[in-house]
Amino acid sequence: MPSFLFRAACGLCLFLVIVAAKWATFDRFGSPMPDWDQWDAEASALLVPWLEGDPAFWGHLVAAHNEHRIVLTKLQALALTVANGQWDARLEAVVNAMLHGLVAWGLWGLAARRWTGFPLAAFWVVLAVVTGLPLGWQNVLGGFHSQQYWLLGLSIATVGLLPFARAGSARWWVGVGAAGLALFSMGSGLLAAAAASGLVAVRWARRETSARDALATLAVATVVVGAGWLLRVKVPWHEGMQVRTAADFLSSLVHSLQWPWREQDWAAVVLWLPWTLVACGRLRPRARGEAPHPRDDHALLVTGIGGWVLLQVAATAYARGAGGGYPASRYMDTLAVGVVANALALLHLLGGARPRLIRGLGVLWLAGLAAGLLPLVRDTFRSDLQDARTYYRKAEGYVRRYLATGDAGHLIPPDIPYPSVEGLVDRLTIPSLRELLPVPLRTPPALLPLAAEPGAFRLNDARGWTTPDAPRHGLSPATAALDYGVTWGSHGPDGAAGRGAWRSAVLPGPARRWLRFETAGQPGAAGVALELRAADDDRVLARVVPSREPGDTWRAAYVRAPAGPYRIVARDDSAAHWLAFSGPVEMGGLSHAAWQATKHAGTLLGIALVLSLALGLVALGRRRRPAG
């Protein structure tokens, strides 16, 4: 296999490992429910104005959200919602994982073009670990957090392209575009252009670029930084988070630089030592007569990436450093880029003098990184993600109960997806927004029977009942009523022996591509069926069968939505089986694809890891193959 194809295959495997790991994390701990800032930045300021044809829509799009102008996040959310016909945080998170995977693939490409062998393989592992593990779990679970990934990708592109390209070239213009777009990712987007201008100044001072190219790039960077400064916004409700003392600022700064360690300030020195060595060596004045070396640009790129992380850390320490605490998980993906910058620095140092000493430093650095990651990963899975899952399940239930009854008493803080009950109710009463809600929150339509044999299928209305006390008409004694749901079931006084059929009134053709039913009993068993039939000629359009038999539990079954009006027909001709079902909830096509992606993410992760191992063995075989 040619080397460039091998590097591309390694990059693809890295992308798949990262994306699958994030999808698997979301599947276990996340929720399609929009959460907190999404109800303002995406709902009130974006989707509602778009749906209602508000002439001020474009103003809403570029308006600041807190201190940030998250235009790219808003456009991504709008595009996904319009294409899907439904507002779904799971779909957003699935796309976000792919954005982060592309960022990691780009970092891999920077390294793979310059280095080979075991050190490059170790870099692949470091990149996969710090990017694939849910260390920044708020970004993994939060569909709204795409701005973090847009900031990373555009900033790295700016630092990697703008200082090194000839002014006016295609690469230079891509760097200019990335620098400009970074302003609309987060409030700190201007720091990418600031870092790039520093690199250009170094190259110009050391006579590594022409004055024309340097001045053109510095002019663009100055304009971008100036525009970012003019676009900045201060919000009174966040002033309490700003740092007040130099001690708090330094404490916050060190706590970020020592990541992934906690309570070990010395780790900041150890983990940033490789980058410091490269940066100091690259920024020293050039001796008279010393010619530029091809490795100089590599060193300057490493310096720029790490320098950008330091600027981000300083900005965060200032804006969120009150009390000098530890960084929130949403900032950890940026801190992970700092780890990557130091890994790149080690690769660079290995190609210079004293490689044996640098190998020893690399081993110690990797050991220190691993020792810091282990407790962080443990706490993330044992505490943070478990708490997140508990919160999401409670919040889903509370919102679903409110939507089923209209009683705001079901919205119990703090386990609701908005800071206040009143604000959440205001948003949930907007008809156009309510129509966009994702599957866990949607209320199924009321199913009216057209005809039913006496005693065959019984109505069970659990709205207004707590689950343990809810009635269980049509359900087996071991089957709990569907939480605040309306169902029909064939389990009767004689157990599963009852027989009969049930037919709904005509339902209009769904607006979305999939329908989701909750089922219990043995749907699909001999003599038992749940079907969609055409309203005009009663032909069978689809059979509703879950992937596994639910028995005495509830299990979702998905079926493609019919193109026109239809009926739901249930039949139980078996003396040994029974069936219960809810009304259908509509699901967008992209929502269904995102659900499938997260559902099967574990399998995808296993395949990606096996392929990665196979590529590693191929590389090892190449290395050991004798010449000739």
Check whether 145 has a pLDDT greater than 60. yes
Calculate mean pLDDT across residues 377-404: 94
Whether the per-residue pLDDT at 1 is higher than 80: the answer is: no
CA neighbours closer than 13 Å in the CB half-sphere of residue 554:
18
- Higher per-residue confidence, 287 vs 15: 15
Tell me the range of 45-59, 93-107, 249-263 where mean pLDDT is highest.
93-107
- Residue 561 main-chain phi, psi, to 5 deg: -70, 140
Q: Is 553 a residue whose pLDDT tops 80?
A: yes
Torsion of CA 52, 58, 62, 66, to 10 degrees: -30
- The first and second tokens of residue 273, run together, are 């030592």
The pLDDT assigned to 624 comes to: 55
Q: Which of 438, 160, 441, 178 is nearest to 305 (CA)?
A: 160
207 falls in which pLDDT band (50, 70, 90)? confident
Cα angle at 91 between 90 and 93, to 5 degrees? Answer: 65
Q: Read off the amino acid at residue 568.
A: I
CA distance 279 to 289: 21
Phi/psi at 5 (5° precision): -70, -40
- Look at residue 454 in the predicted model and tell me its pLDDT: 64
Name the nearest CA neighbour of 504 among 476, 527, 534, 479. 534
What is the pLDDT, as a whole number, of residue 492?
A: 87
CA 547 from centroid of its chain's CA atoms: 27
- C-alpha 594/C-alpha 588 separation (Å) is 10
Residue 309 has pLDDT above 70, yes or no: yes
pLDDT of residue 623: 60
> What's the longest Cα–Cα distance across the chain?
100
Residue 627, pLDDT > 50, answer no
User: Residues of the chain with pLDDT > 90: what percent?
Assistant: 71
Band (456; pLDDT cuts 50, 70, 90): confident
Q: What is the pLDDT of residues 462-480, one digit of tens each?
A: 888 877 788 999 999 999 9
Q: What is the mean pLDDT of the chain?
A: 90
Residue 268 predicted with pLDDT over 90: yes
- Model pLDDT, residue 323: 83
Residue-level pLDDT at 544? 96
Specify the residue for token string 């703090």. 414
Q: Tokens representing 589?
A: 């096509």
Q: Is a pLDDT exceeding 80 seen at residue 574?
A: yes
pLDDT at 206: 84
For residues 441-479, one letter each, b for 16 or more C-beta atoms within 10 angstroms of the residue's C-beta and e for the rest, the string is bbbbeebeeeebeeebbbebebbeeeeeebebbbbbeeb
Mean pLDDT value of segment 15-27: 97
Q: With CA atoms as reference, report the closest residue to 144 among 228, 194, 80.
A: 80
pTM for the full model? 0.93
pLDDT of residue 324: 82
Choose among 380, 357, 356, 360: nearest CA to 368: 360
513 pLDDT tier (thresholds 50, 70, 90): very high
State the pLDDT at residue 305.
Answer: 96
| Whether pLDDT at 291 is above 60 | no
Would the pLDDT of 628 be above 50? no
The pair of structure tokens assigned to 159 is: 């630092």
Q: What is the pLDDT of residue 83?
A: 96
The mean pLDDT value for 91-104 works out to: 97
How far is Cα 243 from Cα 306, in angstroms, rounded to an integer? 23
pLDDT at 141: 95
Question: Average pLDDT of 517-539?
Answer: 93
